[in-house]
Structure 1
């Protein structure tokens, strides 16, 4: 299916399924469930087809998140199925996203995390199961509030161990288990 065949509802539904089954279901992010249950996650499907258009939308969403109370929107998932579909291009764009935060004087208030169907940690094989901790059905820029992260880390005593626990979870699950979750991307 090409990105032109996708509608926003289908993209959001796939993203929600991934969030529910993988991120929350496998407890890859112990902080996600709270904001999800409170319906404080904003889902935005970008129709951008160029990095420049995505940057403009990213900056709009960063400003909106900054201007809105956490009770209404705690975090935003900017899903962009039509641009930065190659992981290395996406990875390079993260520097642009960080520069936008700095230019907008939002460093220390907001941050951008990343998920991608081809996510790959440095020095890993492309199909290494550890990469799947950050794999999503579509490229996603996750906009987070620094205050919310700080509160969540305070409430979760072993926050520094999350990465290692996630790798262990993925190794136990394996590729077959991941495929059974039906959250994409498939191998």
Structure 2
């Protein structure tokens, strides 16, 4: 959606549903459940409509994460529904994001991970379910603390096996299973309430 009209609350609800049903529900990130349970995940829905505006907001979010104790915010999801909808443009923007981290002197302190509705790993076909491990309802820049990542990886047995296990999980699920997982509960249950998790 690039016409300036979107419902930020609805976007956030869809991202939370993806986070809870896919990322945590399928255990794609074994470290996510704890920070979500402790309320340490910031979800910021951006109204940026240009890459320049998004880069400025990314700088603000990096500074906020840098200046905030991990106990309050351990990680940030910067969701940007109106810009970089094309995956190749998004992928190119990641170089700018990494350059900004370095310019701000945060290399080795913070990092930016990537999620996109059309995410595609190098050397995979677009219809390979393996890509689902990094697909999200909207383009997202995921800001992570390096020390939190290091602690989580050190505490996890065989962290290198996570990627292989995730690919096996989503390939077993397939695209239809993935859609069903995220769409479950969308139908009105007769109470006038919709399940948005």
> The TM-score by the shorter chain falls in which range?
over 0.9
Deviation string, structure 1 residues 124-175 (Cα, Å, up to 9, x no partner): 1111100010000000000000010011001111111111110010111112
What is the alpha-carbon distance in structure 2 between the residues aligned to residue 55 and residue 176 of structure 1?
34
Structure 1 match to 2:29: 29
What is the alpha-carbon distance in structure 2 between the residues aligned to residue 171 and residue 164 of structure 1?
11
What is the alpha-carbon distance in structure 2 between the residues aligned to residue 120 and residue 66 of structure 1?
30
What is the alpha-carbon distance in structure 1 between the residues aligned to residue 171 and residue 182 of structure 2?
17
Structure 2 match to 1:140: 140
* CA drift at 1:2: 6.2
What is the alpha-carbon distance in structure 2 between the residues aligned to residue 3 and residue 124 of structure 1?
32
Question: What runs of 5+ residues in structure 1 fail to find an aligned partner?
Answer: none
Which has the larger share of helix? 1
What is the alpha-carbon distance in structure 1 between the residues aligned to residue 153 and residue 8 of structure 2?
32
* CA drift at 1:25: 0.3
Q: 1:3 to 1:39 in 2, by over 3 A?
A: farther
* CA drift at 1:3: 6.0
Residues 1-40 of structure 1 aligned to structure 2 (within 5 Å) = 4-40=4-40
Deviation string, structure 1 residues 59-83 (Cα, Å, up to 9, x no partner): 0000000000000000000000000
What is the alpha-carbon distance in structure 2 between the residues aligned to residue 173 and residue 58 of structure 1?
33
Q: 1:181 to 1:109 in 2, by over 3 A?
A: same
Question: What runs of 5+ residues in structure 2 fail to find an aligned partner?
Answer: 184-197
What is the alpha-carbon distance in structure 1 between the residues aligned to residue 15 and residue 75 of structure 2?
14
Q: 1:103 to 1:129 in 2, by over 3 A?
A: same
Q: Is the 8 A contact 1:3 1:81 kept in 2?
A: no
Is 1:101 aligned to 2:101, yes or no? yes
Q: 1:159 to 1:120 in 2, by over 3 A?
A: same
What is the alpha-carbon distance in structure 2 between the residues aligned to residue 3 and residue 155 of structure 1?
45
Structure 2 match to 1:69: 69
Instruction: Count the aligned residue pairs.
Output: 184
What is the alpha-carbon distance in structure 1 between the residues aligned to residue 93 and residue 60 of structure 2?
16
TM-score (ref. length: structure 2): 0.90
Provide the alpha-carbon RMSD of the alignment: 1.4
